[in-house]
Amino acid sequence: MTGGPVRTVAPGGTIGMLGGGQLGRMTALAAARLGYRTHVYSPDRDSPCAQVTAAETVAGYGDHEALARFARSVDVVTLEWENIPVQTVAFLAKFVPVHPGPGVLAIAQDRLLEKDFVNRLGIATAPWRPARCPGQAASAFQEIGTPCVMKSARMGYDGKGQVKLTGDVAPVDAWKSIGGVDAIVEGFVDFALEVSVIVARGQDGAMAAYPAVENRHANHILDETIAPAAVAPEIADEAGRIACRIAEALQFVGVLAVEMFVTRDGAVLVNELAPRPHNSGHWTIDACAASQFEQLVRAVCGLPLGSVERTADAVMKNLIGSDADRWPELLAEPGARLHLYGKAEARPGRKMGHVTRLVPFGSAAGT
């Protein structure tokens, strides 16, 4: 494992955060514990991250004057959302180190580039074909077969920007329904469960991977994460190797989440990459020596990575929309660790917080 020269930002320095959501908020809290300040840059006022940071810039991602001022006020820049424009990151990199950099984002923002990158490493994914135009949409559907799913190549999350194809909707009409944009057609995988591995990689190339966890979804949104996943040790090891292989190939600095399917015959297939802290890693705040957010701070500031050792097994439950209204009973529940994100409006499908319950070693898998 190799990396470039290490540029250390000592405690007392300022971390620039692109994006003002809850991932930035939890990173800023971890940074404060280590003695760092955080300056958040976001187009949105009163963002969850800005509520806990020392400084805030509210401006668009294309505002070069505001970006230059922001860059001169911080020692290093990271991000909490992979869809920050690549041009924004490239511009900031002229002034200050940015982790991860524009090359990583260019791959992670485009499902076609991402799948191709993973496959070129010899790592398996679901079968896929590009659908950049009506003709490709039709041929991709014919080659992949039903059932399959068409997804916009860029943007789209939590089930947005995608449509399932079972043969009752013409693929060209499906392509038009997601905006007539570059898209990918993926074959369905008969999987036993979905897992993810979060790996931290430092500037020096050192890596530390958390154990594979199981992710359970409801309405295309992560509902629960069970740590660790109830899979055979060789499957968990393979998932960890895959995540580290991808991080190394990207020369990644920061925290990378790799979502994977485990098929019924034990194969591990990569589904998606997220080059930032991930919802499925929230349990690490309460159940690990160093959380995924602390690891991000350590990595981008050139510090040694922390331990990924678990102090307990854990079950993390997302609080979606009005679920957060249950905060009084969750606070009263012995052992429940409640995390609320400071969002004013509880819209359906919106992640308002999460609760983590620690359980004795070996018992999370039975949840």
How far is 189 from 75, CA to CA, in rounded Å?
44
Residue 363 DSSP symbol: -
- 168-178 core/surface letters (b: 16 or more CB in 10 A; e: else): eeebbebbeeb
Give the Å distances, CA to CA, from 258 to 182, 244, 245, 246. Answer: 23, 9, 11, 9
The response to whether 111 counts as a known ligand-binding position is: yes
The response to whether 279 counts as a known ligand-binding position is: no
The response to whether 194 counts as a known ligand-binding position is: yes
Among candidates 317, 323, 325, 308, which has minimal Cα distance to 359?
Answer: 317
The response to whether 157 counts as a known ligand-binding position is: yes
Rounded to the nearest 10 degrees, how much is the dihedral formed by the CA atoms of 55, 36, 294, 251? Answer: 90
Question: Which residues are within 8 A (CB) of 85 and not within 5 positions of it... i.e. 6 or more apart?
Answer: 61, 62
Structure tokens at 277: 């802290």
Which ranges of 145-272 would DSSP assign to H, the alpha helix? 171-177, 233-249
The response to whether 103 counts as a known ligand-binding position is: no
Q: In what order do the strands lie in the sheet with 55-58?
A: 55-58, 37-42, 14-18, 76-79
- What backbone torsions phi and psi does residue 258 show, to the nearest 5 degrees? -120, 115
- What backbone torsions phi and psi does residue 20 show, to the nearest 5 degrees? -115, 20
The response to whether 318 counts as a known ligand-binding position is: no
The response to whether 151 counts as a known ligand-binding position is: yes
The response to whether 115 counts as a known ligand-binding position is: no
Structure tokens at 101: 């950099």
The response to whether 271 counts as a known ligand-binding position is: yes
Residue 287 DSSP symbol: H
The response to whether 162 counts as a known ligand-binding position is: yes
The response to whether 87 counts as a known ligand-binding position is: no
Which amino acid type is present at position 193? L
Beta-strand runs (E) in the chain: 14-18, 37-42, 55-58, 76-79, 128-131, 148-152, 162-165, 183-187, 191-201, 207-209, 213-218, 221-227, 254-263, 268-274, 313-320, 336-340, 351-359
The response to whether 315 counts as a known ligand-binding position is: no
The response to whether 190 counts as a known ligand-binding position is: no
The response to whether 21 counts as a known ligand-binding position is: no
How far is 78 from 251, CA to CA, in rounded Å?
15
The response to whether 156 counts as a known ligand-binding position is: yes
Beta-strand runs (E) in 126-275: 128-131, 148-152, 162-165, 183-187, 191-201, 207-209, 213-218, 221-227, 254-263, 268-274
Tokens 């076609």 found at: 112
Annotated binding site for ATP: 111, 151, 156-162, 186-189, 194, 217, 271-272
**Binding site residues, as ranges?**
111, 151, 156-162, 186-189, 194, 217, 271-272
